[in-house]
Amino acid sequence: MFLFFVACGVAPKQKAVEILEKGINDESIIVRVHAAKALRQIGEDRGLDLLYQINRSGDQEGCAAALRALYDLDEGTYSPELWSYALEGDPSIRIEAYKLIASMKDERCRDMLIKGTDDKIAKIRRISYLGLEKFKEDDVLRGGLRDIDPLVRIAAAKALGRTGEQDLKDFIRNELNGTENDVWCHGIIALAEMGDTSVIHDIGGRLYSAPWEVRLAAVEALLIMNNHDGVLVLQEALQSDDPFAREYAVNILKKYKISETTQLLKDLVHDEYTNVSVAAIEALVQYGAKEQQRLFEEMMNVPNPLVQIAAAAAYLQGE
């Protein structure tokens, strides 16, 4: 057995472990964040501890990335230090902190979210209103309907509608009358999440005659309602020359498993854009990590450390 491993090189499992260990000691704080996240994905609590250590390091880019990783991992354990991140001067840290806070069900997050509804950054207000839905803060949510930003108004209306308030679907529909693509995208997804199947008619030709941002929002809205009419558009996006479209499409497939896209995802693990490649590897884990072991093993040999780490984590999840 020893001679076999000498002849063939390091065993894939050992190589995957070595990649993650090397990653958590890398000079780049972003590489360390990805490696720590990967450790948590394979069930090691040490990864969680490392992410919190990075949070406390004082490095702004690292802190924002670590908070984003905790959110992606769906870590819902409340920590008092979240207050300090929510009050940070750096907007990227505050936004990621509020995303994490809004995902938690802990009652201690309520006051932070209420404070966030008055934040000068519209995205934080939007996140805060969405987070307050589970706390049934209807009076606060109604205040969001008068916000100056249409995306915040849509978020507040969606949250309020999901708590049982009536006629909020019509409120959101009125917001869709504008010409801004991002407003339409957020609105159509909000209506789908509220169970308004009539939006299928509103989507109509936008699946085929709009910018990728709109087309893919339409696809996602349909999938939320368990409608697969947009799968061909999704397949087109995965093969698009636009890296944004490819990344958006792959991230949709991380949430909704569509078997006919598997080969396209396998092709995209080789994408020249790191975000697309990493997202494709993570998506394939949802499609059955064991079946993709040979591909993950191959991707552990690429020069990009972030792709290596994603492939190592995927390989170990399939063990």
**CA gap 58, 47 in Å, rounded:** 18
What is the distance between the alpha carbons of residues 121 and 152, in angstroms, rounded to a whole number? 10
pLDDT (0 to 100) of residue 205: 77
pLDDT digits (tens, 9 = 90+) for 185-241: 999 999 999 999 988 888 877 888 899 999 999 999 999 999 999 999 999 999 999
Amino acid letter, residue 165: E
Q: Dihedral sign, CA of 187, 250, 285, 71? A: negative
- Distance in angstroms (rounded) separating the CA atoms of residues 271 and 276: 6
Q: Is residue 155 part of a domain?
A: no
Domain enclosing residue 294, as ranges: 251-319
What pLDDT score was predicted for residue 190?
Answer: 96
Contact 112, 82 (CB under 8 A): yes
Residue type present at position 232: L
Compute the distance between CA of residue 150 and CA of residue 83 in angstroms, rounded to an integer: 27
Sign, CA torsion 56/62/67/70: negative
Q: What is the pLDDT of residue 206?
A: 85
Residue 76 pLDDT: 83
Q: How far apart are CA 244 and CA 103, in angstroms?
A: 25
Q: Is 268 domain-assigned?
A: yes
Length of the chain: 319
CA atoms within 13 A on the CB side of 225: 22
Closest CA to 216 of 253, 241, 179: 253
Residue 108, pLDDT score: 92
Question: What is the rounded distance in angstroms from the CA atom of residue 128 to the CA atom of residue 100?
Answer: 10
Distance CA 110, CA 128 (A): 9
pLDDT for the residue 9: 54
Alpha-carbon gap, residue 253 to 20, rounded angstroms = 25
Looking at the structure of the chain, the number of domains it has is: 1
Q: Is residue 255 part of a domain?
A: yes
- Confirm whether 10 is domain-assigned: no
The pTM score is: 0.91
Spatial contact of 141 and 159, defined as CB atoms under 8 Å apart: yes
Q: With respect to residue 262, please indicate whether it lies within any of the assigned structural domains.
A: yes
Residue type, 293: Q
Domain CATH for 266:
1.25.10
Tens place of pLDDT per residue across the chain (319 aa): 433 443 355 799 999 999 999 999 999 999 999 999 999 999 999 999 999 999 999 899 999 999 999 999 998 888 888 899 999 889 999 999 999 999 999 999 999 999 999 999 999 999 999 999 999 899 999 999 999 999 999 999 999 998 888 889 999 999 988 768 999 999 999 999 999 998 888 887 788 889 999 999 999 999 999 999 999 999 999 999 999 999 999 999 999 999 889 999 999 999 999 999 999 999 999 887 678 899 999 999 999 999 999 999 999 998 7
